[in-house]
Amino acid sequence: MDSILILFAHPRFEKSRVNRALLAGLQGQPGITVHDLYEAYPDFNVDPEREQALLLAHRIIVWHYPLFLYGAPALVKQWMDLVLEHGWAHGSNGHHLAGKRALVTVTSGGTRESYAHDGFNRHTMPELLFPLEQAARLCRMDWLPPYVVQGTYRLTDAMLAEQGGQYCRTLLRLAQDPPLETLQQYELLNDWSAAMEHGGQP
């Protein structure tokens, strides 16, 4: 079983500097599968059986997308509606995803300070991601803090390259199965990763 499945969804990927940098950092990494949903399903005709097989083949599931108007791109919702079926992913007989770890990676033009109760967006990033969190919990998955790249419009090429490397290092550490209770102490997975960079214990 491979470690990490990244369900990537960006309707205009060719125009995204930050997401190109994040995915470029993952190229050639064993155990990490990047599955581009808009490339696979440009007509939104999602194949539930194919997607379910991919989910079963991985231990950690990452929904990766840009935050548009506080939500996910439309194909993410289509994917969830068709793939996370009652009786397969949830319900009394739906146990196929139980115990897998799940998180969201999002990119946003707004800064971290703007995603606060006293900030411009009035909510924290984890609060805005609650629908996916609750869907994952419904499927008996272990929910992890989100990985968030913010202030994207201000990032230089050098900063983007560093973001790509940091994302890759974070996922590789995550593949080592650090304790769930340790990860859940952090608001963002970035904070845990930064602690590890400075000699923290996984």
Query: Which is more confident, 138 or 116?
Result: 138
Residue 61 lies in a domain: yes
Residue 202 lies in a domain: no
Q: CA-CA distances (angstroms) from residue 47 to 60, 78, 95, 117? A: 20, 11, 20, 39
Distance CA 63, CA 71 (A): 12
Residues 146-160: tens digit of each pLDDT: 999 987 778 888 888
CB atoms within 10 A of CB 50: 13
Residue 128 lies in a domain: yes
Domain of 57: which CATH number? 3.40.50.360
Residue 132 lies in a domain: yes
Residue 73 lies in a domain: yes
Residue 121 lies in a domain: yes
Residue 166 lies in a domain: yes
The pLDDT value recorded for residue 77 is 96
Cβ proximity of 63 and 69 under 8 Å: no
Residue 111 lies in a domain: yes
**What's the mean per-residue pLDDT of the chain?**
91
pLDDT at residue 192 tops 60:
yes
Cβ proximity of 43 and 15 under 8 Å: no
Residue 126's pLDDT band (cuts 50, 70, 90): confident
Q: Say which residues have a Cβ less than 8 Å from residue 51's Cβ, sequence separation at least 6.
A: 79, 82, 83
Q: CA-CA distances (angstroms) from residue 186 to 6, 76, 94, 123, 183? A: 21, 25, 29, 17, 6
Beta bridge partners of 171: none
Residues 5-40: tens digit of each pLDDT: 999 999 887 777 889 999 998 888 889 999 999 999
pTM value > 0.85: yes
Query: Which is more confident, 140 or 114?
Result: 140
Number of domains in the chain: 1
Report the residue count for the chain.
202
Mean pLDDT, residues 119-127 taken together = 83
Domain that holds residue 55: 2-197
pLDDT at residue 202 tops 60:
no
